[in-house]
């Protein structure tokens, strides 16, 4: 069973690519990942997924939400699955924004998104040290896409297929970190 968190452009493209029969896609209105209660409901309802792909993301005027949805929720879910899953591959979609968090002229709303994605990418590095040190049966892959075509980037950037291909590669090769800039 593959769980896709987020029903947006990338989540839908992944579901199409991986096959509806193998995937469950979770998001609004049933799950609001700005709340711990709904993260806990995912853990209760899907305690042993083979693969969980977190595609949720938001750039809004609400800095609290940007930090929670882009960093706190995925980090919380990852740690919870690490603690309880037998054999699980977690794929967190971060962003190439993690490489340039505070560029000149940046507004603080966008900064809170970049900072959250930077935190998610660094989180992946730290968690993978724990995975290796403690020989955990969990694999965590963090993917940092550059701009790709979706409402989030005004339909500009690289084709979404590049990101779908990166996720496909991650499922097969289980790398710890992938940046897909172009
Ligand atoms: N597009 C880009 O250029 C780009 C570049 C780098 C990284 N990324 C990352 O790629 C991932 C996919 O983005 P996308 O381009 O496919 O954008 P998208 O279509 O906007 O997908 C993001 C999804 O996250 C959902 N979401 C946001 N807040 C939520 C919440 N509190 N609870 C439940 N769901 C919530 C959105 O739901 P609603 O539709 O209900 O708001 C949407 O379905 C994100 O993590 C994004 O940060 C995107």
Q: Kindly report, residue by residue over 123-179, the tens digit of the pLDDT.
A: 999 999 999 999 888 999 999 999 999 988 888 899 999 999 999 999 999 999 999
Q: Please give the class, per CATH, of domain 2-180.
A: alpha beta
Extract the tokens encoding 89. 């591959």
Q: Check pocket membership of 38 for ligand 1, CB cut-off 6 A.
A: no
Q: Check pocket membership of 113 for ligand 1, CB cut-off 6 A.
A: no
Which ligand 1 atom minimizes the distance to the CA of 145?
A: 6
**DSSP codes joined into one string, 9-78:** HHHHHHHHHH-GGGEEEE-TTT--TTSHHHHHHHHHH-SS-SEEEE------S-HHHHHIIIIIHHHHHH
Which is more confidently placed, 56 or 137? Answer: 56
Q: Check pocket membership of 15 for ligand 1, CB cut-off 6 A.
A: no
The reported pLDDT for the residue numbered 155 is 81
Q: Check pocket membership of 153 for ligand 1, CB cut-off 6 A.
A: yes
Averaged over 59-83, what is the pLDDT?
97
Mean pLDDT over all residues of the chain? Answer: 95
Distance in Å, CA 6 to ligand 1 centroid: 7
Distance in Å, CA 45 to ligand 1 centroid: 22
Phi, psi of 164 (to 5 degrees): -60, -45
């Amino acid at each position: 069973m593959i769980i896709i968190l987020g029903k947006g452009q990338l989540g839908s493209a992944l579901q199409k690519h991986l096959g509806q029969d193998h995937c469950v896609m979770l998001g609004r209105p049933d799950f609001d990942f700005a709340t711990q209660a709904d993260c806990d409901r995912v853990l209760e309802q899907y305690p042993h997924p083979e693969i969980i792909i977190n595609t949720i993301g938001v750039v809004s005027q609400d800095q609290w939400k940007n930090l929670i949805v882009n960093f706190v929720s995925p980090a919380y879910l990852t740690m919870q699955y690490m603690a309880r899953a037998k054999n699980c591959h977690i794929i967190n979609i971060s962003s190439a924004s993690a490489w340039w968090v505070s560029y000149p002229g940046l507004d603080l709303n966008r900064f809170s998104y970049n900072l959250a994605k930077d935190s998610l990418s660094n989180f992946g590095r730290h968690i993978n040290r724990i995975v290796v040190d403690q020989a955990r049966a969990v694999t965590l892959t963090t993917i940092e896409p550059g701009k790709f075509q979706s409402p989030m980037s005004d339909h500009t950037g690289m084709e979404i297929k590049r990101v779908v291909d990166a996720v496909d590669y991650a499922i097969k090769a289980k790398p710890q970190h992938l940046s897909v800039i172009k």
